[in-house]
Structure 1
Amino acid sequence: MKRSVAGVLMLMALGLAYAKDRPMSGVSEKVSVASRGGKVLVTLTVSNKTRQPIYLWKVTYAGTQLFGPEFDISVAGSAAPVDYIGPMVKRAPPGPDDFLKVEPNGVHRNTIDITASYDFQPGKQRYRLSHTGSYVTDLQQLDHPVAMKPASTVFTHTQVAQPADE
């Protein structure tokens, strides 16, 4: 009897450990893109419809510019990627102060201008942008981020060709 209780407890502990890395069913991310005035503005909206807070990395979810290739962008209808050409910043591992809290039943929204960060083709093009966000549920376990279901959208952007240097 003691062995079966210990076995059941061990299986429950393994199940709980596994569940920590699986997305919670009430957390979702929506990505939208507005292309206007020559700019490409990406808005990330994270909804937390759970009973516990979640924590989002401030660099992505509160920043105004990119410091690495955060989004996967391709020409719509093809696999041709749009290269990231923005700044690359090497960072120390994030600490608890690097995260923002989204309360239970809360929503957080952030808009980032990615115009200069990706090599958009001259002229009018349709693009597909994808993002896989992540969150943590415990600021003491930052090394266990939980990936959200990938979000994507298609948008049209007109990139004005830059004059060639003479």
Structure 2
Amino acid sequence: MNDPDRNRRRMARLMTHLTWVVVLAMLTLYFNNFIASRDNPNATLALSDSARPEVVLDRNRAGHYLAPGRINGQRVEFLLDTGATNVSVPQGLASELGLQRGAPMQSMTANGVVTVYRTQLDSVELGGIRMQDVSATINPGMSENIVLLGMSFMQHLELIQRNGQLTLRVPDAVR
């Protein structure tokens, strides 16, 4: 025989399970977005409306400034590093970007002295700031696909750090 109460109980149990799955999925999405915004508060980088190009970055919870940008028109993730002489591109990402290895050179990094290779970037963009012919290095020892945005790019900018924010601005003389 077919018991209607039994079918209702089965349906109620199924609906309860489905509700929990949906709630857990929504919580997972929320917390993934929360963690991502905490690790990179600049993921959706806004441009300034000022007359001269300027970018304002928020420091992440580790004290770093991460931001999306472009190298030769292709999207990359930058970690601003005023201690780096040049823009430093991981080998794997350099291959994806089609960068050519130039002359080898020794570079002092946080992990000691490493061999890197000179290269030239046609363009580097961070927010509304764009520069051409930027010196860079290709670093085979970097495992992540995060580009260190060094002083070969930032030396042409005004840098102002205040209250957990870093403002990068093109000086009037450069424009």
> Is TM more than 0.5 here?
no
Query: Higher relative contact order by CA 8 Å / sep ≥ 6: 1 or 2?
Result: 1
TM-score (norm 2): 0.29
* TM-score, normalisation: structure 1: 0.30
**Larger of the two Rg values belongs to structure:** 2
